[in-house]
């Protein structure tokens, strides 16, 4: 059995917990929604494109963002809902570029479907803009090699997995997820890093994502033994 | 009472470890909760569970109550109704009664918290004692459509707090202070929600003479027009044309509530000609409610207005298929066709109930999704986490906080 490669730098697991802050802003029509999407803070765009993943993770890959859900379920604009739901979030390296893509889709839909401007949500069904306040804390878990890493992955919270995969990449504007970055730079295996970074995390439930990463790393460890 | 480790089998060890991590960041801070009563009502119920658990986690949480006489609480009841949007005559004298008692509390109450957490409108005026500490106002009331008169009066106090906390986005409005969304929660280990043996469920149903030979449709709610028990009977009758079933309408005592007593009489009158409708006036027994929910085939909450709708949370936690109105906090808990069915009318409710009774596999799937959603979002452990993050938020204004 070959010796497990020790990482140059250990991987420190963090967790990210969020608190929802209300902005008091609400939209009842598509033009109102569009106007507010253009002006709300990035943390609000982030909240509405990622909250669903955490709160409704067992439903994913069902509606991956609140905007898609609201325009379909409340305004009855299923066409736009589908367009917004199928935005390939992982292709957008920043919240700014994701926001622009959402705006582009809504503007183009309104242009092609002018009557959609007249639809409105009934009382109590308006779209409420909320933003996420993230608290990032170090956990007690530290991996010194891939074997530690995979064992910790099995028991860490989904919040921690979420932080290292989603939050690190998009909101904190890092180019890849933390796991791939560590495997490439500290374990020194580009192929394994790339296999993990090629997963589209937006099409998994968080629990399935955990299992997928564990499986990839376990297969790799077995192949080296 | 359960201790924090008892929740590990339900939410996992790492979730409890996260709570301990946050609690460490609050070391040295005293969190002083203030409300108006130690017993009775939802706020006291939740504080009775939360304060000991926070202390066990290492947070120096304490709990005090303001003092008030009957006249004061009559006025705050009027405020409560007016904030819920009910027509309510409130005089200048009422405001004076409120201010008079508030001033006495301001004078006599010892405020020692680094974070002072004020619950509901009754103690709201204590903000006048603000010094260099942090103040949070927790609104447990549905203020989506409040009386402007009362809201304006309260705004003078609210705007002096650091932050306000609401249970639903519908309750938020533009405020010059930060406002957070923290949903209520249920305690999975309480008598109302813990697992029950089949024997207990059977014995409770026998006690109320509810047979289990047909599917059981249940609404658990006090007898209040806003809970629309008459609408539930009408929906049941539409279902009954096609599917033989039993209806259970169960709620707490209405003896001290003239309006409730009138509704109960009306419900009994409407149900009199049908032996399959069981109108149960329950004593305060959480185990009985738990058993009735567990014995139900479909649970209904056909409210016309609702706060958060914790009866829906309880039903979903028991993996029951639920048909509920699209109102208050219910849509936060039920995504239509994913974790239950939402309705807007008697006919809509009836259609959904029939669908669930005729498609047990679909009903089961909705119930399981619902349970998972409650587990992830509406259990006491999430509530504890949000409250601790809220306390920490008073020391940080940024959107990303590194602790």
CA dist., res. B251 & res. B264, Å (int): 9
Could you give phi then psi for residue B186, rounded to 5 degrees?
Answer: -120, 155
- Rounded CA-CA distance A125/A34 in Å is 17
The shortest CB-CB distance from B21 to any of A132, A137, A156 is to: A137
Closest Cα in chain B to A137:
B403
In terms of CA atoms, which chain A residue is nearest residue B182? Answer: A20
- Dist. CA A146–CA A7, nearest whole Å: 8
How many CB atoms are located within 10 Å of the residue B159 CB? 13
In chain A, the DSSP E strands lie at 6-27, 127-145
Quick check: B18 and A156 CB within 8 A? Answer: no
Locus of tokens 């587990």:
B375
Question: 3-class SS at B118?
Answer: strand
ipTM of this complex prediction, to 2 decimal places:
0.86
Strand partners, A132: A20
| C-alpha–C-alpha distance, residues B219 and A165, integer Å | 42
- Range with the poorest average pLDDT among A29-38, A174-183, B209-218, B236-245: A174-183
What number of C-beta contacts closer than 8 Å exist between A and B?
107
Two tokens, residue A47? 């909240």
- Measured in whole angstroms, the distance separating CA A161 from the mean position of its chain's CA atoms is 11
Q: How distant is the alpha carbon of residue B157 from its chain centre?
A: 24
More confident of the two residues A57 and B138 = B138
- Taking a C-beta distance cutoff of 8 angstroms, is the pair B279, B267 a contact? yes
Q: How far apart (Å, rounded) are the C-alpha atoms in residues B374 and B339?
A: 10
| CB of B304 closer than 8 Å to CB of B327 | yes
Closest approach of B344 to chain A, Cα-based (Å): 11
Structure tokens at B300: 């209904």
**Chain segment B120-134, per-residue pLDDT in tens:** 999 999 999 999 999
B216 vs A123, higher pLDDT: B216
> CA quadruple B142, B145, B150, B156: dihedral positive or negative?
positive
DSSP state of A225: -
Q: Is B179 an interface residue toward A (CB < 8 Å)? A: yes
Contact list in B for residue A85 (CB cut-off 8 A) is: none
Is the distance from CB of B392 to CB of A126 less than 8 angstroms?
A: no
Residue B67 pLDDT grade (very low, low, confident, very high; cuts 50, 70, 90): very high
All residues at 6 or more sequence positions from B264 whose CB lies less than 8 Å from its CB, including other chains:
B223, B251, B254, B279, B281
B177 and chain A in contact, CB less than 8 A? no
Q: What is the pLDDT of residue A61?
A: 44
What domains appear along chain B, each with residue ranges and CATH number?
Answer: 4-185+379-393 (3.40.50.2000), 198-377 (3.40.50.2000)
User: Over the stretch B244-270, which tens digit does the pLDDT of each residue have?
Assistant: 999 999 987 545 566 778 889 999 999
pLDDT in tens, B382-392: 999 999 999 99
Residues near B331 by Cβ (< 8 Å), separated by ≥ 6?
A: A125, B342
| A62 phi/psi in degrees, rounded to 5 | -70, -175
CA distance B53 to B33: 14
In 10 A of CB A71, how many CB atoms? 27
Report whether A105 contacts A80 (CB < 8 A).
yes
d(CA B403, CA B26): 11
Closest approach of B298 to chain A, Cα-based (Å):
22
Closest chain A residue by Cα to residue B143: A124
Which residue, chain included where needed, has tokens 């890849």? A176
Higher pLDDT, B40 or B112: B112
Task: Calculate helix-pair angle for A30-39, A95-112, nearest 10 degrees.
Answer: 160
According to the model, what pLDDT value does residue B256 have? Answer: 52
Beta bridge partners of B222: none
- B175 with A24: Cβ contact below 8 A: yes
Q: What is the mean pLDDT of residues B312-324?
A: 98
Six token digits for residue B182: 């923290």
pLDDT digits (tens, 9 = 90+) for B38-60: 876 678 888 999 999 999 999 99
Q: Could you give the 3-state DSSP secondary structure of residue A40?
A: coil
pLDDT attached to residue B320? 98
pLDDT in tens, B300-309: 999 988 878 8
Under an 8 A CB cutoff, do B180 and A20 touch? yes
Query: B194 CB near a chain A CB, below 8 Å?
Result: no
pLDDT of residue A172: 63
In angstroms, the separation between the Cα of residue A225 and the nearest Cα of chain B is 30
Q: What does the alpha-carbon distance between residue A116 and residue B14 come to, in Å, rounded to a whole number? A: 46
Q: Is the distance from CB of B112 to CB of B30 less than 8 angstroms?
A: yes
Best A23, A59, A133 member to test B by mutation, with max B CBs in 10 Å, is A133
Give residue ranges of A with CB < 8 Å to any B CB.
Answer: 15, 17-26, 41, 43, 54-59, 62, 69, 73, 124-126, 128, 130-137, 139-140, 155-157, 159-160, 171-172
Query: Is B139 strand, coil or helix?
Result: coil
**What number is the average pLDDT over the span B57-64?**
97
Most confident of A115-124, B5-14, B66-75, B354-363: B354-363
Residue B159 carries which DSSP code? T
Q: Which residues, including other chains, have CB under 8 Å from residue A41's CB and lie 6 or more apart?
A: A23, A131, B399
Tens digit of each residue's pLDDT (9 = 90 or more) over A185-216: 999 999 999 999 888 887 787 888 999 999 99
Query: Domain segments of chain A: what residues?
Result: 6-16+135-224, 19-131
Taking CB atoms and an 8 Å limit, are B17 and A139 in contact across chains? yes
Angstrom distance (rounded) from CA B292 to CA B219: 10
Q: Any chain A CB within 8 A of the CB of B326?
A: yes
Task: Please name which of B138, B173, B153 lies closest in space to residue B76, comparing C-alpha atoms.
Answer: B153
Using CA coordinates, name the residue in chain B closest to A135. Answer: B401
Instruction: Compute the average pLDDT of residues A25-37.
Output: 97
Q: Is the CB of residue B170 less than 8 Å away from at least one CB of chain A?
A: yes
SS3 B146: coil
Q: Are B341 and B284 in contact (CB under 8 A)?
A: no
Locate the chain B residue with the closest alpha carbon to A159. Answer: B15
Query: To 5 degrees, how large is the angle CA B257–CA B300–CA B86?
Result: 40
Alpha helix stretches (DSSP H) within B241-304: 258-271, 286-295
Is the CB of residue B281 less than 8 Å from the CB of residue B312?
Answer: no
- Measure A201 CA to nearest chain B CA, in Å: 19
Instruction: Give me the pLDDT at residue B37, please.
Output: 86
The pLDDT tens digits of the residues spanning B190-240 come to 999 999 999 999 999 999 999 999 999 999 998 888 899 999 999 999 999
- With CA atoms as reference, the chain A residue closest to B305 would be A124
Residues contacting A146, CB < 8 A, separation 6+: A4, A5, A183, A187, A217, A220, A221
Q: How far is A183 from B27, CA to CA, in rounded Å?
A: 36
């Amino acid at each position: 059995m070959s010796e497990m490669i020790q990482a140059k730098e250990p991987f420190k697991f963090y967790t990210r917990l969020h608190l929802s802050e209300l902005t008091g802003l609400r939209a009842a029509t598509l033009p109102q929604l569009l106007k507010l999407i253009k002006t709300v803070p990035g943390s609000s765009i982030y909240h509405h494109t990622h909250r669903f993943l955490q709160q409704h993770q067992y439903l994913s890959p069902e509606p991956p963002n609140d905007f898609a859900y609201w325009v379909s379920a409340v305004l009855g604009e299923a066409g736009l809902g589908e367009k917004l739901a199928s935005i390939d979030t992982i292709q957008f390296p920043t919240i700014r570029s994701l926001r622009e893509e959402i705006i582009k889709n809504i503007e183009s839909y309104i242009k092609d479907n002018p009557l959609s401007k007249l639809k409105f949500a009934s009382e109590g069904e308006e779209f409420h803009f909320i933003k996420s306040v993230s608290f990032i804390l170090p956990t007690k878990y530290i991996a010194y090699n891939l074997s530690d890493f995979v064992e910790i992955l099995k028991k860490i919270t989904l919040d921690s997995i979420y932080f290292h995969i989603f939050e690190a990449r998009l909101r904190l504007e890092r180019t890849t997820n933390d796991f791939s970055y560590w495997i490439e730079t500290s374990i020194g295996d580009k192929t394994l890093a790339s296999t993990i970074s090629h997963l589209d995390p937006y099409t998994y439930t968080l629990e399935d994502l955990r299992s997928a990463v564990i499986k990839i790393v376990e297969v790799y460890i077995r192949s080296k033994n | 009472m359960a201790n924090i480790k008892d929740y590990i089998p339900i939410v996992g060890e790492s979730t409890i470890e996260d709570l301990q991590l946050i609690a460490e960041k609050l070391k040295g801070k005293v969190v002083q909760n203030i409300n108006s009563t130690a017993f009775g009502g939802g706020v006291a119920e939740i504080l009775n569970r939360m304060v000991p658990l926070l202390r066990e986690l290492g947070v120096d949480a304490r709990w005090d109550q303001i003092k008030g006489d009957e006249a004061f609480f009559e006025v705050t009841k009027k405020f409560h109704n007016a904030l819920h949007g009910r027509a309510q005559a409130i005089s200048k004298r009422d405001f004076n009664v409120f201010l008079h008692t508030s001033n006495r509390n301001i004078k006599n109450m010892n405020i020692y918290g680094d974070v002072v957490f004020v619950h509901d409108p009754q103690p709201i005026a204590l903000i006048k004692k603000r010094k260099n500490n942090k103040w949070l106002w927790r609104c447990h009331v549905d203020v989506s459509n409040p009386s402007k008169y009362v809201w304006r009066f309260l705004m003078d106090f609210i705007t002096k707090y650091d932050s306000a906390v609401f249970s639903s986005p519908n309750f938020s409005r533009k405020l010059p202070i930060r406002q957070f969304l923290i949903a209520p929660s249920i305690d999975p280990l309480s008598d109302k929600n813990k697992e029950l043996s089949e024997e207990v469920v059977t014995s409770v149903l026998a006690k109320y003479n509810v047979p289990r030979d047909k599917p059981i449709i249940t609404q658990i709610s006090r007898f209040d027009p806003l809970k629309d028990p008459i609408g539930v009977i009408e929906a049941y009758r539409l279902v009954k044309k096609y599917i033989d079933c039993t209806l259970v309408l169960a709620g707490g005592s209405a003896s001290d509530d003239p309006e409730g007593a009138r509704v109960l009489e009306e419900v009994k009158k409407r149900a009199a000609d049908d032996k399959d409708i069981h109108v149960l006036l329950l004593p305060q027994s959480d185990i009985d409610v738990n058993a009735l929910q567990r014995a139900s085939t479909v649970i209904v909450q056909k409210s016309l207005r609702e706060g958060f709708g914790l009866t829906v949370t309880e039903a979903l936690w028991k993996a029951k298929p639920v048909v509920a109105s699209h109102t208050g906090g219910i849509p936060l808990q039920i995504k239509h066709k994913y974790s239950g069915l939402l309705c807007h009318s008697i006919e809509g409710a009836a259609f959904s109930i029939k669908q669930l009774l005729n498609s047990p596999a679909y009903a089961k799937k909705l119930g399981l999704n619902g349970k998972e959603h409650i587990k992830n979002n509406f259990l006491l452990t999430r509530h504890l986490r949000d409250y601790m993050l809220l306390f920490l938020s008073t020391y940080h204004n940024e959107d990303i906080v590194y602790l």
